[in-house]
Amino acid sequence: MRSLSTGQSAVNRATEDHEPKFLQAVGMFFDEAAKHSNASLETLKHIKSTDSVLSVTFPMEKDGKTVMIKGYRSQHSRHRLPCKGGIRFASEVDLQEVEALSALMTYKCAVVDVPFGGGKGGIMINPKDWTDAELERITRRFTLELCQKNFIGPGVDVPAPDVGTGPREMGWIADTYRNFNPQDVNGAACVTGKALSLGGVRGRTEATGLGVYYGVREFLSFPEVQKKINHHGKIQDSTVIIQGFGNVGYWAAKFFESNGARVVGIVEHDVAAYNPAGLNIEHLSQWRKENGSFRGFPDAKIVDSPMDLLEAECDVLIPAALERQIGLRNAHKIRAKMIGEAANGPVTPGADAVLRKNGAVIVPDLLLNAGGVCVSYFEWAKNLSHLRFGRMNKRWDERSKEQLLNLVEGNAGRPLSEVERRQMIHGAEEHELVYSGLEDTMIVACNETRQTANAKNIDYRTAAMANSINKIAASLAGSGSIFTHA
């Protein structure tokens, strides 16, 4: 299950009362980027508005009483189909949040060239208050509502995991859809983030965290970034602090650690763990699983005011929790050289301006956390092809490499060891192809963002959003607008 901690108390501490809500913030970032786009005013209005919203209420029995459950699904843009976006289970879910997240999904898909429109859904419950059987009934009932209103389908709208949901819930959704659409041979593609046994793809679980790593690595490699933040440009020996230790934060930490970075701090909702020499991520994760908290972990200093650790000195700060975690109340205290937005909307517009004024580089959410939707695209494509990646070509590639290797050995006059031969002729497995596709996607998108930022002398968030707007505008212009013009 994808869990992103850091609750409302942290949000209140970070933001001023007058700062914009999430939907307004997304709109403000859009408006700023629109000034640097090539789209007309009418096209910008079209892109910014939400196409469709579904709001449902249904009864559910709990402890002998009837509880009314509220659910939403927003389809922000259908310029490309299907719409794509997660379904979250959280008591804070509301229509404004769902619309904002669906808009962000539209821009996110465009910036990394994933051919989807943006969608998002949510059910206003705290999953901890419900049993597994009750959660299954809620999930299946919500899926029924989506089926009845044509808000789900491989070519219509494809949900995915989000806060409070995971492969289990996606499996329930897929099964419910299949029962109501038994004739749909592509029914497995109605949802992504499924377990492997139900048509999932290897590499999906760690995709968002891996994308965060690739994105930060790319931006650190840019000479202008190195000069601005006075950094050596390598992941190795960089210090990293991560807020949130759910799926995204955990995997981001794992990839940073395995590539030589020192993850010196992990911030959770109750406490934070800090070790300037670097935390052992697997040991810390295992400790929390066994004890329910970082408290008592022997190889770190436990910080009782976790938000204070966001203000510690480090090379890279990764907010991987909820939105609005860095606002006007704490932005001026942030000492990180680079902020990588692994969560959606963790920095408010006012805080964004403060951080950039103080010399920090911000890698924006619509680019940095796009790894999840990118690999969801791969899973969707796999389900439509009904074929595992690598199945048709792995052995052929290995035999071709082996023949070439035999020629090389003959000319060199020295046979390779068996280990060397296996390494050189190894054909790509599915997860390796997924990693390769994600890495290429992030490299291309990061460089496109860099080029626009340098050409127009704007920040990376504005550049990424402007690129996204231009791509959506081109799609709309190419397809035309039926029934719009006289």
Please list the active-site residues. Answer: 120
> Which of 194, 211, 15, 27 lies closest to 102, judged by CA?
27
Please name the residues in contact with 322: beta carbons below 8 A apart, sequence gap of 6 or more: 4, 5, 6, 7, 11, 163, 244, 343, 346
| 200 contacts 194 by C-beta, under 8 angstroms | yes
CA distances for 71 relative to 131, 145, 204, 345, angstroms: 18, 9, 26, 22
**Which residue in this structure is represented by tokens 């059910």?**
123
A 10 A CB-CB count for 411 gives: 8
- φ/ψ (deg, to 5) at 62: -145, 125
Alpha-carbon dihedral sign for residues 432, 435, 436, 437: positive
Please name the residues in contact with 50: beta carbons below 8 A apart, sequence gap of 6 or more: 74, 75, 76, 99, 102, 103
Query: What is d(CA 312, CA 433) in angstroms, rounded to the nearest whole number?
Result: 37
Please name the residues in contact with 331: beta carbons below 8 A apart, sequence gap of 6 or more: 347, 348, 350, 351, 354, 355
